């Protein structure tokens, strides 16, 4: 069907997930909402993150979307389970797809999870992994500095390497064999993280895994846009909305999405 897919995040980070969805489902139209006015979510309480998440979803519902992806790991961890049943369209987060893949890929049953403080203290990844296999050992670590580093474009800088080595030593000490990048911003730092963790550790990008889940869910529910069947599929018509000035979003978006984002509209999210 022609209705759009809705994607939301606390800001620009969710574009790493949007990028994967654009690439795997090029014929789909997307409405993206970035809550830049209330970013970041990762250090906030469960109550506030849930309130914001409900408003973000209400905004997307107004656009008559057929499917909603919460690309923010913090919101997916803290808020989603409680509220998904309130909607008559599928609403998915990024935790389950990332956790399922990690469980498939682990070789020695030692999975590391890195994310924001909210994601780590929610224990959502560990819970999901243990529901699939209670014998797996899960080690979680908040790496909040990775978010501003990625956003400021500190991708291959000495400071970033130093911070990554400092943070990730814990993961090396506990000898994880698989590491979940449990935050929208971390795929940008994948090379630095891979360098610190070494070639033996498999990195899981939750965004990539979520895009595959979106494809499967839309296919199974016969919700794919008919244009997706055309070869090559025509480019989708995407719309971007933010809750504060669009300029900074536009600047950073190119790096996160890998393409220029124009036509960004500012909305008052407190109305929802
Ligand atoms: N989008 C958030 C996440 O994936 C990171 C940025 C924030 O803290 O809002 O957890």
Per-domain residue ranges for the chain?
5-93+208-271, 95-206
Chain-centre distance for alpha carbon 125 = 13
Supply the pLDDT for residue 94.
Answer: 97
Q: Is 70 a catalytic residue?
A: no
Q: How does residue 228 score in pLDDT terms, banded at 50, 70 and 90? A: confident
Answer CATH for 5-93+208-271 from 3.40.50.620, 3.40.50.10900, 3.40.50.300, 3.40.50.1860: 3.40.50.1860
Q: What is the mean pLDDT of residues 161-189?
A: 98
Query: Is 185's C-beta closer than 6 angstroms to any atom of ligand 1?
Result: yes
- Which atom of ligand 1 lies at the shortest distance from residue 116's CA? 10
Ramachandran bin of 123, using left for φ above 0, alpha for ψ from -120 to 50, beta for the remaining angles: left
Supply the pLDDT for residue 148.
Answer: 97
The CA distance from 94 to 234, in Å, is 26
Give the residue, out of 121, 145, 184, 205, with the most ligand 1 atoms within 8 A of its beta carbon, to mutate for a pocket test. 184
Query: Is 205's C-beta closer than 6 angstroms to any atom of ligand 1?
Result: no
Q: Is 143 a catalytic residue?
A: no
Query: Is 116's C-beta closer than 6 angstroms to any atom of ligand 1?
Result: yes
The lowest-confidence range among 33-42, 107-116, 217-226 is 217-226
Question: 231 pLDDT exceeds 80?
Answer: no
CATH 1.10.150.20 fits 95-206, yes or no: no
Q: Going by C-beta distance under 8 Å and a sequence separation of 6 or more, which residues neighbour residue 20?
A: 205, 207, 208, 210, 211
Query: Are the folds of 5-93+208-271 and 95-206 the same?
Result: yes
Q: How does residue 258 score in pLDDT terms, banded at 50, 70 and 90? A: confident
Please give the model's pTM, rounded to 2 decimal places. Answer: 0.96
Distance 223 CA to ligand 1 centre (A): 28
Report the 10 Å Cβ neighbour count for 239.
15
Please pick, among 75, 147, 183, 269, the residue that the annotation labels catalytic: 183
């Amino acid at each position: 069907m022609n209705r759009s897919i809705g994607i939301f995040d606390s800001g620009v980070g969710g574009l790493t997930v949007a990028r994967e969805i654009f690439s795997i489902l090029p014929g789909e139209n997307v409405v993206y909402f970035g809550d830049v006015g209330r970013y970041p979510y990762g250090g906030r309480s469960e109550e506030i993150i849930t309130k914001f998440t409900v408003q973000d979803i209400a905004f997307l519902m107004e656009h008559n979307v057929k499917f909603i992806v919460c690309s923010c790991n913090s919101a997916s961890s803290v808020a989603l389970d409680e509220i998904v049943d309130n909607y008559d369209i599928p609403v998915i987060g990024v935790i389950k797809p990332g956790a399922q893949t990690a469980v498939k890929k682990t070789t020695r049953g030692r999975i590391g999870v890195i994310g924001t403080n909210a994601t780590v203290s929610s224990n959502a990844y560990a819970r999901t992994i243990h529901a699939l296999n209670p014998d797996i050992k899960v080690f979680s670590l908040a790496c909040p500095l990775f978010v501003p580093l990625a956003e400021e474009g500190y991708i291959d800088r000495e400071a970033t390497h130093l911070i990554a080595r400092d943070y990730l030593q814990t993961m090396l000490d506990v000898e994880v064999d698989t590491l979940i990048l449990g935050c929208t911003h971390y795929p940008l730092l994948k090379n630095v993280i891979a360098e610190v963790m070494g070639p033996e550790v498999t990195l899981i990008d939750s965004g990539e895994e979520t895009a595959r889940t979106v494809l499967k869910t839309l296919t199974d529910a016969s919700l794919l846009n008919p244009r997706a069947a055309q070869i090559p599929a025509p480019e989708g018509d995407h719309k971007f909305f933010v809750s504060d000035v669009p300029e900074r979003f536009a600047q950073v978006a190119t790096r996160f999405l890998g393409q220029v984002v124009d036509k960004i509209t500012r909305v008052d999210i407190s109305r929802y």
